[in-house]
A and B are shown apart, each in its own frame.
Chain A
């Protein structure tokens, strides 16, 4: 689903948090959204997924305005995974039943193998490690069979091994044709995963370029300073 964003603004009590944002994203691939804290990355993701309502502007997915029909073709994984208080398998079943997927058991087993969680299928989700919980959240989102997957800093506070497992999972998902929009603070991760980079600063998109060009020759001074490890305010 290609995305077109025009004049998007978001404000709370008259205080602007984002915008105006104009953006076009193609079908497929991984788009990394980067920028310093408070740049508006999470707000942008929530706006694109329809979790919050824009103050003004237009969001269209494949030419259609954002509605429940479009949102059913999307899924989101939050920075802190929100898991239901039931087993790993039951968490996935919940999503499969929501979309009335046929052969729930077969699809569940396939997803658990994909996330390498099949050995903990009947364990309560809340006792999993941080990395396992995040992998479960991702495959539960995949159980919704989305065309677009939003990942909000999925590897924040994970160790390198768990981060690698999440990145491998993201690549597999991308290779299956799912568009991934990923927020990350980790330039290394963006370099490893992203096809294109959206850099936000002060609630505005300062640049949107292919990843290779972004890391070689960032167009904006803010992005250059961010990549140089300077503190960008």
Chain B
């Protein structure tokens, strides 16, 4: 119990003292994860909308594969990105390995199936309500997609949050492609893994608490944004 109490005290003292190293790690964590979620949204939302609104042979199989990819182990993603970005890999020329860029790529690959699969379900439900209206009004496919995405924006923000939660908490992919280099690629989860391996469990736990506070802050900010822009009756 003393360890837990000490960890909480340490976590808040780190935050209150504006520890430069801690804030650098928190900042990089947010930068990597928010960038990855943004990329995943830019790819995953149109893909989800496309699958939700079209019928084609093998669609059921595509949905099964997409849903399965939501559970892809981060270490597998990390390994694949590592192989692609290493000097011997096809993208080695980009020299991205052990940079935040590599970490963003890995997390984007991890989150994109989540955004695509969940948004597919959200948009398909809404499309079921509106499909006949759109046909009646002779709405083009592109405009129908844009309308569905806008109408489902509240639910899609929650989808993005699910992706954020998955990315900010994962360690397997970023430690493989980022290497946990101090002041370069160290993020919250890799720092926790490092402190745990060093036996400094109190500091590791304190960092975990900070990570939780950061996640709560981001979720709270998005919820406030949602409440401000999307009335409950539009949800």
Contact = CB atoms under 8 A, between A and B. Distances in A.
Interface of A: 49-51, 68, 71-72, 74-76, 78, 82, 84-86, 94-95, 98, 124, 126-127, 144
A97 to B, nearest CB: 9
A94 B138 contact: no
Contacts of A127: 233
Contacts of B136: 49, 51, 71, 74-76
Interface of B: 129-130, 132-133, 135-139, 143, 147, 150-152, 231, 233-235
A78 B133 contact: yes
A68 B138 contact: yes
Contacts of B231: 124
Given A68-B138, A94-B147, 6 more contacts: A71-B136, A72-B138, A82-B129, A85-B152, A86-B150, A98-B139
> Which residue among B138, B143, B151, B231 has the maximum number of chain A CB atoms within 10 Å of its CB?
B138
> 3 closest A-B pairs (Cβ-Cβ)?
A124-B233, A85-B151, A82-B133
Q: Is the interface of B mostly helix, strand, loop or mixed?
A: helix
Given A78-B132, A78-B133, A94-B147, A85 B138 contact: no
Contacts of A51: 132, 135-136
A164 B136 CA distance: 26
A184 to B, nearest CB: 19
A95 B137 contact: yes
Contacts of B135: 50-51
B132 A82 contact: yes
A142 to B, nearest CB: 12
Contacts of B129: 82
Nearest to A150: B136
A72 B129 CA distance: 21
Which of B133, B231, B234 has the most chain A CB atoms closer than 10 A to its own CB? B133
Contact of B138 (A71, A78, A82, A84): A71
22 contacts: A51-B135, A51-B136, A68-B138, A71-B136, A72-B138, A74-B136, A75-B136, A75-B137, A76-B136, A78-B133, A82-B132, A84-B130, A84-B151, A85-B235, A86-B234, A95-B137, A98-B137, A98-B139, A124-B234, A126-B233, A126-B234, A127-B233
Contacts of B137: 75, 95, 98, 144
A124 B231 CA distance: 8
A82 B233 CA distance: 15
Contacts of B130: 82, 84
Nearest to B140: A98
Contacts of B138: 68, 71-72, 98
Nearest to B139: A98
A50 B137 CA distance: 11
B132 to A, nearest CB: 6
Given A75-B136, A76-B136, A78-B133, A84 B147 contact: yes
B136 to A, nearest CB: 4
B145 to A, nearest CB: 14
Nearest to B151: A85
A225 to B, nearest CB: 32
Contacts of A144: 137
A187 B71 CA distance: 58
